[in-house]
Chain A
Amino acid sequence: GAGVSQSPSNKVTEKGKDVELRCDPISGHTALYWYRQSLGQGLEFLIYFQGNSAPDKSGLPSDRFSAERTGGSVSTLTIQRTQQEDSAVYLCASSLVPGGSTDTQYFGPGTRLTVL
């Protein structure tokens, strides 16, 4: 597709359940990022994938959060045993090559997660 796509657009779950959020980056983009947007914390970096390198997980808030990127393309963010404070909009972005003028990150529409 032309842009970054994410699914689902909305997810409502019960506290304690696991959820999976999906991101399809722009074709050919080597870098993929996950961010979280919440009222209290603003926009926060979660995790970053670049090619076959080990991901930068420094932004993940707890070990209940994990992410993988298969085949250098699609990424899945998994939240285990969800808590109410996990409620937020989860945004995915991709860029062609990190660290230069082509590092411009293009964002998907986000997944709104609500934990009841």
Chain B
Amino acid sequence: GEDVEQSLFLSVREGDSSVINCTYTDSSSTYLYWYKQEPGAGLQLLTYIFSNMDMKQDQRLTVLLNKKDKHLSLRIADTQTGDSAIYFCAESRTGGTSYGKLTFGQGTILTVHP
């Protein structure tokens, strides 16, 4: 079955690095995504990684994928107060009846303190 798990809360100080973790159970996951949701807003795509990759870096964001352990993480360097939001991990597959549909984790609420 499909299951994506995240820790619910993370609190960091401004300027520190944030690491948000996600685990998934479906070994046929093809793409893994990180979305950001600010209060009252829709989902903003941050980054994604293909399942045959181990790491992807995009400016302050680093995504690490451990396919063996089915573990995904998002590291935000030099975290700012504007990074405070809910972060969702999501996975999708390219085959079967669930083609293209995203399965989301519960979301991690990131709070950045000045």
Is there contact, CB below 8 Å, between A59 and B101?
yes
Asked if B9 CB lies within 8 Å of chain A CBs, one says no
A110 vs B4: C-alpha distance in the bound complex, in angstroms?
A: 22
What is the interface size of chain B, counting residues whose CB is below 8 A from a CB of the partner?
A: 27
A91 within 8 A of B: yes
Measured between C-beta atoms, what is the minimum distance from A45 to chain B in Å?
5
Bitwise, A43-75 to B at CB < 8 A (1) or not (0) is 101001010000010110000000000000000
Cβ contact within 8 Å between B42 and A103: no
Of A91, A95, A99, A108, most buried by chain B (CB within 10 Å of CB) is: A99
Report whether A48 and B43 are in contact in the complex, using a CB–CB cutoff of 8 Å.
no
A95 contacts which chain B residues (CB < 8 A)?
100
Total count of chain A residues near the partner, CB < 8 A: 27
Q: Which chain B residues in 55-114 approach chain A with CB under 8 Å?
A: 88, 90, 92, 94-95, 97-107
Beta-carbon contact of A43 and B104 below 8 Å:
yes
* Chain B residues near A106 (CB-CB < 8 A): 45
Given the interface contacts A101-B50, A103-B92, does A109 sit within 8 Å of B101 by beta carbon?
A: no
Nearest chain B CB to A100 CB, angstrom units: 7
Sample 16 A-B pairs with CB under 8 A, ordered by A number. A42-B105, A42-B107, A43-B104, A45-B102, A48-B100, A50-B100, A58-B98, A99-B100, A103-B31, A103-B92, A104-B33, A104-B48, A106-B45, A107-B42, A107-B44, A108-B42
- Which A residues contact B (CB, under 8 angstroms)? 4, 31, 33, 35, 42-43, 45, 48, 50, 56, 58-59, 91, 93, 95, 98-101, 103-110
Report which B residues bind A (CB closer than 8 A).
30-31, 33, 35, 41-45, 48, 50, 88, 90, 92, 94-95, 97-107
By Cβ-Cβ distance, the 10 closest A-B pairs, closest first, are A98-B100, A43-B104, A99-B94, A107-B43, A109-B42, A107-B42, A45-B101, A42-B106, A110-B42, A99-B100
